Every structure is written in C-alpha cells, then in structure tokens.
Chain A
Amino acid sequence: MLFLRQVLTITAKDLRSELRTKEALNASLAFALVILLLFSFAFDANPEMMREISGGLLWLAFAFAGALILNRSFARELVNDCLDALISSPVPGAALFLGKVLANYVLLLGIEVVCLPIFGVFYNVRWAQQPLWLALVLILATWGVCVVGTIFSALTVNLRLRELMLPMLVYPMLIPCLMAAMMLTTPLLAGQPIEGDLFAWLRLLVGFDIIFTSLAVVLIDTVLIG
C-alpha cells in the first residue's frame, strides 16, 4: 500500500510539473504531427497503400514522440539536484522508477489518443472500427515503450550527449515491441479483429512487458546508486 502511494506521489508530481510547463508534451505532440505530415511526402497515400503500412507509420510517429517525453523524464530531476534528494529519500528506487514510468505512460497515451483522429483525417483511415482491440494494443505496446525508455532515461541521465544517447540505445531494444504493435495495428485499422496467428504477436507484447518491467525494477537501484 505504502509502495503504491509512493508510486502515485511521484507520478502526480511528474504530471503536475509537466502539465504546468508543457515542455515535453508540446514538443512531443508537434513532433508526432510533423512526422505524420512528412510521411505523406514519402509515398502516395492511397487506400491500398495505407492498408499495408498504417500500423508501421503510426508507431514510428509514436516512438519518435515518445523519445522526447522519455528524455525529459529523468533530466527534469537534474535541475537543483532534485534527483539526489529523491534517491536519498525513503522512497525505494523501484517506486521512483514505476512512478516515472506511469507518468510517461499517461503522457504518451495522451499523445497517441490525440494523434489517432488526426491520422484518420489526413490519411482517410477509419481507425475506430475495432476500438477495444486497438485500445489493448496501445495499452500494452505503450507500456513496453515507457518501461524500456524510462530505464534508459535513468541510465543516460548523467551522460554527455544524453539527448542523442537515449534514442540510439532505446530504439534497437524496442524493435520487438514496436514490431508487434505494428503487426497488430495494421489489420485493426483496416477493420479486422485480432485472430489466428496475430495472437502470437499479442503474446509477444505481453511477454516483453512482463520481462522488461521485472528486469527494470530489479536493476533500477543499480542504475541510480553509484
């Protein structure tokens, strides 16, 4: 119970300061939209083409937008040495970590929910035909992105060139997660439910989330305390 309260305190703190400054949120949303726009130059957005690549397109935009949010996650604690104060407080590293993951999760999910209808309008995709399945995929894959991204945010927080290091290290780690999300999202946007072979991808997502959440929770103290 105490642990959960500590997690939520950290989440609330992060969300409150982010919503007040909107530094990461604005940048990230704008970035996602710019990427969605740029894709329209990369190929001819006809319905045929969109049926094949809509999932990939969407998740690339989300992954790029996510990197901006994740970069800020631990970096915001560096001002005034707040990170030191949190580490030396009675809050366990795992609670600090999960609190931050949760805050990033809420922010990134928010951006995704805003991007979806805009994507639908721009590319003429009826995206809401399988709302529940789509929600499930967003929930699972975004968690994977946030867990892996947040541990790397902690890992790179004291490095030179942190903003460059994070995406470079995180994207290869995220390939299985993003791949599964893309494979699932494409048929969902075309209106097909998840069935047959597609369940393998769903299982992969769940496995990815479980393994990397546990690993991150186990390793976070090592990352934070020198």
Chain B
Amino acid sequence: MKALAVEGVWKFYGDYAALREVSFEIEPGQCTALLGRNGAGKTTLIRILAGLSRPSRGVVKVFDTDFQNRTTRNRIGILGHGIAIYDELSAYENLRLFASLYGLEKPDSAANHWLERTGLDRVKDSLVREFSRGMRQRLAVARAFLHNPQMLLLDEPFTALDDRAIALLQNLLRDALSEGRTVLMSTHQLREALELATHVVLINRGKLAHRGVRTQEMLDDPGYLYRTYGEA
C-alpha cells in the first residue's frame, strides 16, 4: 500500500498549465519535503492533495483510495496557510467542532486531551479572539492532529510559527513519524523542515524536477538542491 500516489497530474488555469504530468509516490512512514520556488506549483499541488481543487488530468490516491472519498479524509490531517480556527468560538469549542466534523466518537475528550497537550487547557473557555498569536498557532496545530491522522499534510508549516509552536510541531511530527505515520510538507528551504524530512520532492515550473532521499548535502547547503536539479 502506498500512503500517497500522484499519477500524471495536470492542472490548468485556462490554457496555462500550473502542473504538468506530476507523478510520485510516498510510502507509509516517510516524511517528505515538497520543495519549489514561489510559483513553481507547490501550492497548487498541496491544494489538490487537500481536496480543495480537482486535478485537470490524472489521479491522486491516498491509501489506495480516491482522495475525494470522504472517509479517506478522516485519515488526513491538514495544516494550511491560514490557521483555520474560529475567532468567535472558544478554544474548546473549536476543537470540539472539528472533532465532531471528523466523526470522532468522543469529541469532548479528544478536545480536552489536545488542549492539555498543547498547554492551552488553562484558557480553554476563552474566545480565540483574545488569544496571542502563538496560542492561536498552537491551537491550529492541535486541530490538525486532533483525529490522529495517518497522514499529515502541511503547507509551509514553519514559516508563520513562533518558537514555541515550532518546537511543539516538531515534537508532534517526530512522534507521528516514530509511530509510522506519513508526513508531507511543502516548504522553501527551511532547516526545520529538512531536518525532519527523509525524502524530498522538488517541483520546478510545474514539473517534477527531482525526487529521492534527503541527503546530507541538502542539509548542509540550502542552495544545493536547486543548483543541482532546479534551474533546468
């Protein structure tokens, strides 16, 4: 079983192809960094994987089922650009809402568990509107992990986070990987992401430029990957 299979995916905006024949696979338990410059098609691909957009051609399969399948989505946790938290609800209400949308049997205990884990249990009944930036980010991380997803889809996870949220996210991702879950995160060149990654996928001008194991060179020299595969 593949955790994720992207098969010949094209995405057109009008006649302009934002993705051209992108294919790759991710085995369960791998942590893949999706790299590419701005405008390379990273966001387009992530949006397709998150079910926010349909590929114009090609197929995306998650755990061997069609990714539009709603039950498959129970197994995916998504942390996107926005924090996807309601300002006018309390921290607890937010987590409870998403716990029941994800069909958890005990949404209350799941919400409480994650409030504790992210250190927000003290303020669980305060409205998110009153939260500091860092607290909101930790809540967003909790929302993505809430339903124990088998696969995590993260869009530029480290760019907007503060230190504490980065530490939290890194710990959670390490735990998830040690439990054999799959992680795919889009990123620029950030060390935090590359340290975790076991594999890399590089997109350049809408095409798959490279995929393979994350090597030591990539970690040592941030420009290495782009110089070797990118500017073709």
Do the two chains touch directly in the complex (Cβ atoms below 8 Å apart)?
Answer: yes
A residues adjacent to B (C-beta < 8 A):
2, 5-6, 9, 13, 16-17, 20-21, 79-82, 84-92, 225-226
B167 at the A/B interface (Cβ < 8 Å)? no
Total A-B residue pairs with C-beta atoms closer than 8 Å?
A: 78
Q: Given that A84-B80, A88-B51, A88-B52 are known contacts, is A17 also in contact with B89, CB under 8 Å in the complex?
A: yes
| Interface set, chain B 50-71, CB cutoff 8 A to A | 50-54, 70-71
Quote the shortest CB–CB distance from A84 to chain B (angstroms): 6
Whether B102 contacts A80 by the Cβ 8 Å rule is: no
Q: Does B81 contact A (CB under 8 A)?
A: yes
Q: Which of A2, A13, A21, A81 contacts B80 (CB 8 A)?
A: A81
With the chains together, A20 CA to B80 CA distance in Å?
Answer: 26
Q: How far is the CA of A84 from the CA of B143 in the complex (A)?
A: 13
Q: Which listed residue, B73, B81, B89, B101, touches A81 by the CB 8 Å rule?
A: B81
Q: Which residues on A sit within 8 Å (CB–CB) of B24? A: none
> In this complex, what residue of A is CB-closest to B140?
A80
Contact B85 A225 (CB under 8 A): no
Q: How far, in whole Å, are A16 and B88 apart by their CA atoms in the complex?
A: 9
* B73 A20 Cβ-Cβ under 8 A: no
Cβ contact of B88, chosen from A6, A17, A86, cutoff 8 A:
A17
B40 within 8 A of A: no
- Is B71 within 8 A of A80, CB to CB? no
Contacts of A9 in B (CB 8 A): 97, 100-101
Q: Which residues of B contact A84 (CB under 8 A)?
A: 50, 52, 80, 82, 84
B156 to chain A, nearest CB (A): 13
Let me know if A225 and B101 touch, CB within 8 A: no
- Minimum C-beta distance from B125 to chain A (A): 13
B106-136 interface code vs A (CB 8 A; 1 in, 0 out): 0000000000000000000001000000000
B78 contacts chain A at the CB level, 8 A cutoff: yes
Contact with A along B192-208 (1 / 0, CB 8 A): 00000000000000000
A80 in contact with B83 (CB, 8 Å): yes
